[in-house]
Structure 1
């Protein structure tokens, strides 16, 4: 006789937490990537809402990580301390920045974004449910499909309005989230689905008016292939190139400009940009130590402190604003993060290297240093990869044994 199982008392708080967590993940994995294709500020507005829902869910069911041990582990990590040095040096640079008001406001916004990302990190369960993580490739595929439709019929769907900048931002987020989606699907043995998602994203980026996202996806694919073939080599090369480019950034215009002149001519836009970069380096070499202060690269163009055609790239703006202290600290922080990425789940290492390579390529091509939508997009990518890593506690389902079942009977 089969007895009805007693499920025990129902806890409304646990049910509410499960619902909030489901809605939060649906917002972060599906709504944000899709809405980013059509709404300029979707990432900045919707992502914090989704993270707050995850934090509330963790507070309700107690599945958040305790703050003190988590902070102790972070403070014991050299890469985190180097990143903290970048933040502290940015705060100190407010003393000599010519734009104190805007720089302070931007720094407070960045601090709030970092704090919200840390809260989301602590709120993610130690064991992620597969049902929640499968929302990620579904959201990326839906966003890619919408981007393809906008690329083919954009003028008709938008009524002829110019929304290229909005689509660029959405596609950048798509290029970042493609790799954790692929990493999750491959970790579950779904290689065909992973390839399908990657092809959809590639199709959307091919139709984009800007080639930045497609270049980032291609660089990410190279890092993914190399790391899949030789994990240690791929990790070392990715981390090394990022660190070297950040450290040697002031030398890049002197190396790249002669090549640009030979290929494109002396009046090509890229060559003129490199010339202005050279001028900044040679006319104020002392400023390479301290930097000009936070927010000066962005605001300086508006008051002729910088040439109008000065580069809008991480490599230039980091050195210009924070000098050698900020650049070396950022290089060490990124090197440490890349080297440690995926240590708990080796199956995710190729995807992690691809995401790092894609994000760094986008930052180097011309997104800038402190645009809030870009910082928020990076925060989303970080939380997504942490969630995928915490979904690796069981890599394969246990197989039923016919002999054991017969013995038990």
Structure 2
């Protein structure tokens, strides 16, 4: 008697995990880029929710990376150890910071964001499904189209307040970074035309924006991408040297590039006045260049007159002002090591990663403070997205038809 075919066992837990993971990736790849164009705190609110969904999915189906090998790998990583030194020095600077309460709160928020990023890294599957990764270019394209509509017709219908122009600027910064992993994924699947269209839409959105920071960032990313596409490792060495060198030599920049300071000034004040204020800070207290003034001092000091109101609001200035030589050297070493490691990636992922590094450094160097939480959260998104794209680079070879026919004949 013939046996009835058995249906595969249905596990509700695995289905729930797959659904949570799908929703998490949809939120991270689609909802966050779109919402960031119209809401100032979209990334800060939505990114943790999306990452928590991914963590829950991995906890349900057990598809999480073992913690011990990851910790051992991180401990052996020079970039990670240098980053820990930066955090340690920031924590130690709480002893001499004049804003102990605010600095402690900001440091705890920063540590929580880093831990959330590590948890998201562990929660990402070892092999990413293509269906999930194709959400990334969809989200970037949709966000770029929304930004183009806002740039052409205004956003009075999309936002109730007129003082939220910063939301679009933040959203465009996110687009200027996320476009590179989207391009890397599309190119890895041989969809060069779709990658070019995605990049073109993002560039048009940035051209229509009143702020030029994002446009400069994507130009820097495009140059790095082009160089890395020709030769990845020499391009990585060049980007690493420029980024680390600028961090180390930041106190000399206002003296070297005095009138040509438009690329070094933040959006708070005209370039010349900003550079003069930077020069005054460097020459007034040269001893504090070693230890720094303490965590969160550059941001809070403006309100009480401790820092000139027209001082730069960039990482190049604030890192040295708050953490001094120790923090700057550790951050420069960590950045240099991380970028050099990127140069050893595949020719598909490497150029996109270097482009994202270049674009992110430009944004931090000319327009974003040291510990602005929306910026830290934006970097979290980019890091997790690139890891996801990297884990999607596997191929399953199908047997040839002749082999199948031979097996059937046998």
TM-score category, normalised to shorter length: over 0.9
SS across alignment from 1:309:
coil
Question: Hey, what does 1:151 align to over in structure 2?
Answer: 151
SS across alignment from 2:72:
helix
Question: Hey, what does 1:62 align to over in structure 2?
Answer: 62
Question: Hey, what does 2:406 align to over in structure 1?
Answer: 407
Query: CA offsets per residue over residues 123-170 of structure 1, 9 Å max, x none?
Result: 001100011000000000000000101111114424683431110011
SS across alignment from 1:157:
coil
Q: Does 1:84 align with 2:84?
A: yes
Question: Hey, what does 2:200 align to over in structure 1?
Answer: 199
CA contact (8 A) 2:225 2:355 kept: yes
Question: Hey, what does 2:390 align to over in structure 1?
Answer: 389
When residues 154 and 259 of structure 1 are mapped into structure 2, their CA distance, relative to the original with a 3 A threshold, is closer
Question: Hey, what does 1:209 align to over in structure 2?
Answer: 210
Question: Hey, what does 2:187 align to over in structure 1?
Answer: 186
When residues 256 and 231 of structure 1 are mapped into structure 2, their CA distance, relative to the original with a 3 A threshold, is same
> Distance between the aligned counterparts of 2:154 and 2:397, measured in 1?
48
The structural deviation recorded for 1:341 is: 1.8
The structural deviation recorded for 1:342 is: 6.1
The structural deviation recorded for 1:70 is: 1.0
The structural deviation recorded for 1:400 is: 5.6
SS across alignment from 1:297:
helix
> Distance between the aligned counterparts of 1:39 and 1:213, measured in 2?
17
Query: CA offsets per residue over residues 33-56 of structure 1, 9 Å max, x none?
Result: 101111111100010000000000
Q: How does 1:318-329 map to 2 (within 5 A)?
A: 318-329=319-330
Question: Hey, what does 1:246 align to over in structure 2?
Answer: 247
CA contact (8 A) 2:254 2:261 kept: no
The structural deviation recorded for 1:4 is: 7.8
Question: Hey, what does 1:312 align to over in structure 2?
Answer: 313
> Distance between the aligned counterparts of 1:342 and 1:135, measured in 2?
26
> Distance between the aligned counterparts of 2:380 and 2:361, measured in 1?
14
When residues 216 and 8 of structure 1 are mapped into structure 2, their CA distance, relative to the original with a 3 A threshold, is same
Question: Hey, what does 2:397 align to over in structure 1?
Answer: 398
> Distance between the aligned counterparts of 2:271 and 2:330, measured in 1?
28
Question: Hey, what does 1:265 align to over in structure 2?
Answer: none
> Distance between the aligned counterparts of 1:342 and 1:139, measured in 2?
27
> Distance between the aligned counterparts of 1:175 and 1:233, measured in 2?
23
Deviates more, 1:380-389 or 1:230-239: 230-239
CA contact (8 A) 1:342 1:389 kept: no
Question: Hey, what does 2:304 align to over in structure 1?
Answer: 303
CA contact (8 A) 1:110 1:372 kept: yes
Q: How does 1:6-405 map to 2 (within 5 A)?
A: 6=6, 8-158=8-158, 161-259=162-260, 269-341=270-342, 343-394=344-395, 398=397, 401-405=400-404
SS across alignment from 2:348:
helix
Query: CA offsets per residue over residues 270-327 of structure 1, 9 Å max, x none?
Result: 1111111111111111001000000000011111111110000100000000000000
Q: TM-score, normalised by structure 2?
A: 0.94
When residues 193 and 287 of structure 1 are mapped into structure 2, their CA distance, relative to the original with a 3 A threshold, is same
SS across alignment from 1:227:
helix
> Distance between the aligned counterparts of 1:101 and 1:160, measured in 2?
31
When residues 155 and 58 of structure 1 are mapped into structure 2, their CA distance, relative to the original with a 3 A threshold, is closer
SS across alignment from 2:154:
helix
Question: Hey, what does 2:266 align to over in structure 1?
Answer: none
Deviates more, 1:130-139 or 1:158-167: 158-167
When residues 364 and 7 of structure 1 are mapped into structure 2, their CA distance, relative to the original with a 3 A threshold, is farther
SS across alignment from 2:333:
helix
CA contact (8 A) 2:94 2:295 kept: yes
> Distance between the aligned counterparts of 2:228 and 2:29, measured in 1?
25
Q: TM-score, normalised by structure 1?
A: 0.94
SS across alignment from 1:98:
coil
RMSD value over aligned CA atoms? 1.8
Question: Hey, what does 2:265 align to over in structure 1?
Answer: none
SS across alignment from 2:367:
helix
The structural deviation recorded for 1:217 is: 0.4
Query: CA offsets per residue over residues 302-358 of structure 1, 9 Å max, x none?
Result: 111111100001000000000000000000001111111264533100000000000
CA contact (8 A) 2:228 2:235 kept: yes
